[in-house]
Structure 1
Amino acid sequence: MPARRSRRLPPLSGVLVLVMASTGLVVVDLTIVAIGLPLISTELADGASAESVVVTYMVAMGALTQVVGSLSDRWGRRPLFLAGIAVFTAASLAATVAPDLLWLDVARVVQGAGAAAIMVNGIPLLSDRYEGEERDLAIGAWGSFATAAGLLAPTLGGVLADTFGWRAVFAVNLPLGAAAWVLAARVLPSAPPAPSAPDAARPDWTGSLLLMLGLGTATLLMLRDGDASWSGQDTAVLLTACLALAAFAVVQLRVPAPTLDLRMFGRPAFSGAMLAILLSRVLTIGGSVYLVLYFSDGLNLSPTAAGLLMTPIFLAQIAMGMVGSKLLSHWAPGLVIGSGYLLKGVGLAALALLINPGTPWWALLLPLLAWGAGGGIAGAPVMAVAVRVTAPERVGMVAGTVSTLASLGAGIGTAALGVVFTLHGGDGSRAVTGGARAVMGTSAALAAVAVLSTITLIHPRRVPRPDRGGVPVS
């Protein structure tokens, strides 16, 4: 029997098209609404800040991803996914016709809940549809498309808001959501694909509520105004988050069917993949925030020019995403992921050396490309490793953990690197330059930590090959 040829792309299927399109819808909505905030502020908030429209969506989505992921393991992917699209689309309609800011905030909470159900089912659906190398490539294609959607979102949002008004950024979801629901009803299997193993027991409602409370308050705290002084209310929110998460951990060790099986972190490869995901968002989201400040205030670029100068990061990440998945067929996963972080770290270190008030913008292009290429090489393999080392009945739970850690990493990165920026920077071009240089240097050091932890924890003996089943014991 002839050997099967190695693929460069996953075989196209209705499930892959569905997952990519619906995930793109959620990713676009994460950023597209921010473009319409000035118009929303003028019309609904009488000129006051309308940032709650963004915050409520992120808090709801961040608080629910782990819970919804675990429920999809128990109840099946199809009903959760269909419900998520329906809720997201209905909430988009409610946001489109919102008469005031409170109505819009409530609609955004519901929309965030639907987005969590859509986003967290992406990896499980691909894992159910594909196997081996094809699964790795499908996850890579999904991740690359999501990145491309995030890159397109600000431009799309600007065109819609300028042409049709802020309501258009919500109305665009209606035909897309309806089409996604019809496609999902046609292509998703009717029977729940998740095996009925230990998770067939009654859902862990106590743990779910504690986790939603803990993650919701933690996300809310990370989204606070960094320039505001610490208040008693902030302290109360922090204590609530810590107590809720500690109680959640205790409950997870006692219930027979936990929302998050903490024993998964006893597998070094799984812990290494989760740490890599957390650090990736710390570097990418946190680092980019302060790099844009340098472009604007240090190089005196316009907002449009600053945004365009960030494009090499995302384009390189999209282009190299599939390369990272392909390398998994030839190299050990830890080596692929570590190589990606090494390239990303080199780019960050070069930026730390080059950043100065008089640096020409074109001198930054190569380091920015290295940053993005490294992220693309490392990104998809991390997802693939997390799936490979997990039993099939836990894939939804793993997807929830991935989404939750990604959200936390973005918040932690923005807050922690903001402290670094403040300590080494301030106002004025030279101060902004010093802060951005310190952020890039710190990010390069974190990338080095990611390289070492990845190579150490994601050892070949601990990760099955894509053509073999089973979950390693150690």
Structure 2
Amino acid sequence: MASTGLVVIDITIVAIGMPQIRTDIAAGGSVESVVVTYMVAMGALTQIVGSLSDRWGRRPLFLTGIAAFTIASLAATLAPTLLWLNIARVIQGAGAAAIMVNAIPLLSDRYSGEERNLAIGAWGTFATAAGLIAPTLGGLLIDGFGWRAIFAINLPLGLAAWVVAVRVLPRPQPHPKPNTRIVPSERPDWVGSANLAVGLGLVTTLLLGEDDWSGIDTGLLVVAAVTLAAFAVVQLRVPAPALDLRMFTRPAFSGAMLAVFLSRALTIGGAVYLVVYFADGLEMSPTQAGLLMTPIFVAQMITGMVGSKMLSYLAPGVVIASGYALKAVGLGMLAMTITPTSSWWSLALPLLLWGAGGGIAGAPVMAVAVNVSPPERVGMVAGTLATLASVGAGIGTAILGAVFTFTGGTDRLGVTDGTRAVLTTSALLAMLAVLATLVLISPRRLPAPPRPRPRPVEQDARSKA
């Protein structure tokens, strides 16, 4: 949970620092790439890191992830150019993949049933709490020390997390089920993972490029399509795929994954350009922008455990759909409310609704994905969740950036118009998640809960009778 909080803090803090990064080292470049490269690297590498964790053990990969994340944070702190910073962000993304891919399997191995749902909910709530303090912390650091401080703060946090992990994480033990481990003849899917990384990298590069489409861009698009198609083919043929596409034949699993993808696309992408609106549209300082983002995370933290408890009384699809519907209402209200002179109190209620919807839907989505999958696939499920969440955030930021650029401008009114279009698009994505959830995660598509087995004492009593 602590290491997950470190990853989440980094995402939100960087969004707050984007205006200063643009002014300092990103003149003429796409500062959104600082967010996108991190998310796409994490998403593209999560599957292969998950496979390596199954082979080499979760503890060493987890510790390696924390170390890589911390060292890359030092490189980002010292970055003299945007290219340097993006390379450091790629390494951070690789470390974050090793951290995130282990969180849900560790919880799933320790807990079961309703306890598992509550544990996942607590994990998500803790991550949200980290996101809660990040905007304000980022604003204070940037106003006091500049944008480099948002990466420097990771150094003591990462070192502390690594020391604690060394002390408390259990040593690897032989797995009780041999068929849940990769046999020696099944090598990690390096080819498929490389195809995924190249394909996603090219797609996001094109989305973040200039407005004028060229022949080179067309060629890159063809290469991206070929590499992603090759990835799909490889996954169906190798004995140990990085992503088992057959899991998507379960409608509930597909619904949960689609909901995660859409949610991260609209949440991270929407938040990035909302911060731009606060800074350039309302001319707020980083601290003020961070404080104004607080209602989203406060509401999400409070309602995070509510969604988990609702699973005890309502069907998972209903709980998840209600959360995304509430998120859509908040985004729609926000789109209709913002102006170049909006007051903070007029934005508070829509921001609260946005965060509350995300809190209600977050943990149940992950619980559904875990509960409809075989226990021996939990690691791969966690990898798929993290992959789609990361890729959704990266691609969502890029796509919403194109919407922002196409509909907005550079003055206060233009920034407001672009942000309004982004929020409207995000609300539509949230409604699409509602429809997908209601159709794919309906009660008839979920497995029936297993009947409790009679205890041996009861069986003996019956036999004696």
1:202 to 187, 206, 220: 187
Give how far 1:343 is off: 1.3
Give how far 1:257 is off: 1.8
* Cα distance change, pair 156–363 in 1 and its aligned pair in 2 (3 A): closer
Aligned to 1:13: none
Give how far 1:270 is off: 0.5
Render the CA deviation track for 1:130-186: whole Å, top value 9, x for unaligned: 111121112112222222223323433454456566665444434433332333233
Letter in 2 for 1:112: G
* Cα distance change, pair 179–350 in 1 and its aligned pair in 2 (3 A): closer
**Secondary structure in structure 1 of the residue aligned to 2:212:** coil
**Secondary structure in structure 1 of the residue aligned to 2:237:** coil
1:324 to 302, 307, 312: 307
- Verify: 1:128 aligned to 2:109, yes or no: yes
Q: How does 1:34-53 map to 2 (within 5 A)?
A: 51=31
Letter in 2 for 1:351: L
Percent identity among equivalent residues?
70
Q: TM-score, normalised by structure 2?
A: 0.83
Distance 2:66 2:275 in 1: 33
CA contact (8 A) 2:37 2:86 kept: yes
Q: TM-score, normalised by structure 1?
A: 0.81
Give how far 1:282 is off: 2.4
Aligned to 1:384: 367
Render the CA deviation track for 1:202-229: whole Å, top value 9, x for unaligned: 322222222222233334444x25x643
Give how far 1:27 is off: 2.0
More deviation, 189-198/406-415: 189-198
Letter in 2 for 1:28: I
More deviation, 438-447/251-260: 438-447
Aligned to 1:72: 53
Aligned to 1:363: 346
Distance 1:38 1:423 in 2: 19
- Verify: 1:190 aligned to 2:172, yes or no: yes
Structure 2 unaligned segments of length 5 or more: list them. Answer: 453-465
Structural RMSD (CA): 3.5
Distance 1:73 1:233 in 2: 40
Aligned to 1:89: 70
* Cα distance change, pair 232–399 in 1 and its aligned pair in 2 (3 A): farther
Give how far 1:378 is off: 0.5
Give how far 1:53 is off: 6.1
1:213 to 188, 194, 198: 198
**Secondary structure in structure 2 of the residue aligned to 1:197:** helix
Give how far 1:56 is off: 4.9
Distance 1:46 1:426 in 2: 18
Render the CA deviation track for 1:345-395: whole Å, top value 9, x for unaligned: 222333344445565542332222111111110011111111111122222
2:154 to 161, 173, 177: 173
* Cα distance change, pair 125–353 in 1 and its aligned pair in 2 (3 A): same
1:144 to 125, 129, 136: 125
More deviation, 28-37/179-188: 28-37
Give how far 1:405 is off: 1.6
- Verify: 1:404 aligned to 2:391, yes or no: no
Aligned to 1:118: 99
Distance 1:393 1:60 in 2: 26
* Cα distance change, pair 468–260 in 1 and its aligned pair in 2 (3 A): farther
Distance 2:273 2:406 in 1: 13
CA contact (8 A) 2:135 2:293 kept: no
**Secondary structure in structure 2 of the residue aligned to 1:116:** helix
Distance 1:435 1:302 in 2: 20
Distance 1:295 1:111 in 2: 27
Give how far 1:58 is off: 4.0
Structure 1 unaligned segments of length 5 or more: list them. Answer: 1-19, 470-474
Give how far 1:91 is off: 3.8
Aligned to 1:14: none
Render the CA deviation track for 1:215-245: whole Å, top value 9, x for unaligned: 33334444x25x6433444434333322111
**Secondary structure in structure 1 of the residue aligned to 2:314:** coil
Letter in 2 for 1:89: T
